[in-house]
Structure 1
Amino acid sequence: MRPLFFRPLTAGLAALLLTAPALQAEMTDAERESFRAEIRAYLLENPEVLMEAIGVLEDRRATEAVANDVALVDSNSAEIFTDPASWSGGNPDGDVTVVEFVDYRCGYCRRAHDEVTELVASDGNIRLVFKEFPILGEASELSSRFAISVLQLEGADHYKTVHDALIAHQGDVTPEALNQIGTDAGLGDVAAVMEHMTSDDVTGVIAANHALGQRLGINGTPTFVVDSTMLRGYVPLDAMRQVVEEERAG
Structure 2
Amino acid sequence: MISLIRFLVGLIFVCATFEAGNINAQSLSPSLSSGQVQEVEGIISNYLRENPEIIVEAIEALRSREKHNEDTRRKHNLLKARQKLLHDEGSPVGGNQNGDVTVVEFFDYRCGFCKKVFSFIPTLLKQDPNLRFVFKELPILSPESEMAARAALVVWKFQKKKYFPFHKALMESRGNLSELHILSIAEKQGINTTRIREKMHSIEVNKMLSRNHELARILEIRGTPVFVIGDKFIPGAIDLPSIKNIISEIRKGG
Structure 2: unaligned runs, 5 residues or longer: 1-11
How far did 1:89 drift?
A: 1.2
Q: Which amino acid aligns with 1:194?
A: R
Q: What is the number of equivalent residue pairs in this alignment?
A: 233
Does 1:66 find its partner at 2:71? yes
How far did 1:237 drift?
A: 2.8
Other-structure match for 2:92? 87
Other-structure match for 2:6? none
Does 1:154 find its partner at 2:141? no
Does 1:180 find its partner at 2:184? yes
How far did 1:94 drift?
A: 2.5
How far did 1:64 drift?
A: 2.0
Does 1:211 find its partner at 2:209? no
Bigger mean CA offset, 55-64 vs 77-86: 55-64
Other-structure match for 1:26? 26
Structure 1: unaligned runs, 5 residues or longer: 1-12
Other-structure match for 1:168? 172
Q: Which amino acid aligns with 2:141?
A: L
Q: Give me the whole-angstrom Cα distance separating, in 1, the residues matched to 2:17 and 2:196.
A: 58
* Distance change (3 Å), C-alpha of 1:26 and 1:88: farther
* Distance change (3 Å), C-alpha of 1:87 and 1:227: same
Deviations 1:205-236 (A, max 9, x none): 11121122112212211111111111222223
* Distance change (3 Å), C-alpha of 1:56 and 1:137: same
Contact 1:139 1:173 (8 Å CA) reproduced:
yes
Bigger mean CA offset, 165-174 vs 75-84: 165-174
Does 1:119 find its partner at 2:139? no
Contact 1:149 1:194 (8 Å CA) reproduced:
no
How far did 1:76 drift?
A: 0.7
| Aligned-residue identity in percent | 32
Contact 1:17 1:53 (8 Å CA) reproduced:
no
Other-structure match for 1:200? 203
SS in 2 for 1:220: coil
How far did 1:60 drift?
A: 2.6
Q: Give me the whole-angstrom Cα distance separating, in 1, the residues matched to 2:121 and 2:25.
A: 52
The TM-score with structure 1 as length reference comes to 0.79
Q: Which amino acid aligns with 1:28?
A: L
Does 1:137 find its partner at 2:106? no
Q: Which amino acid aligns with 1:26?
A: Q
Q: Give me the whole-angstrom Cα distance separating, in 1, the residues matched to 2:240 and 2:169.
A: 21
Q: Tell me how large the CA RMSD over aligned residues is.
A: 3.1
The TM-score with structure 2 as length reference comes to 0.78
SS in 2 for 1:247: helix
